[in-house]
């Protein structure tokens, strides 16, 4: 009697674990806070994210708290550039 129940439980666990593997996200987001050398937050900074596997540039602007979140990028290396008038890149 216990054997069929044990088999059903093992089958359920294997199926659930297999489903989780296929549901993995294939992109990631980059987020952070733009600060100057004194540590003050910097609103209005344009953040550009470039990835070799994406055509074009993902662009975002920091909010009033200096926070930004770039759109999802594929796995791998990305290059970020931050620009604001009156500051170096």
**Is the whole-model pTM more than 0.85?**
no
Q: Count structural domains, the chain.
A: 1
Containing domain of residue 65, as a range? 26-83
Residue 44 lies in a domain: yes
Other Cβ atoms closer than 10 A to 74: 12
Residue 17 lies in a domain: no
Residue 74 lies in a domain: yes
Q: What is the pLDDT of residues 26-47, one digit of tens each?
A: 777 888 999 988 999 999 999 9
What pLDDT score does 54 carry? Answer: 75
Concatenated DSSP letters for 40-82? Answer: -B-TT-EEEEE-TTSSS-EEEE--TTSEEEPPPB-SS--EEEE
Residue 10 lies in a domain: no
- Cα-flanking dihedrals φ and ψ of residue 48, to 5°? -115, 130
Q: Read off the tokens for 13.
A: 């666990």
């Amino acid at each position: 009697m216990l054997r069929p129940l044990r088999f059903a439980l093992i089958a359920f666990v294997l199926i659930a674990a297999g489903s989780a593997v296929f549901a993995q996200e294939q992109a990631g987001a980059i987020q952070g806070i733009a600060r100057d050398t004194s540590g003050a937050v910097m609103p209005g900074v344009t953040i550009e994210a470039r990835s070799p596997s994406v055509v074009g540039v993902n662009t975002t602007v920091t909010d009033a708290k200096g926070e930004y979140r770039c759109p999802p990028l594929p796995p791998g290396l990305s290059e970020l550039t931050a620009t604001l008038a009156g500051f170096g890149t």
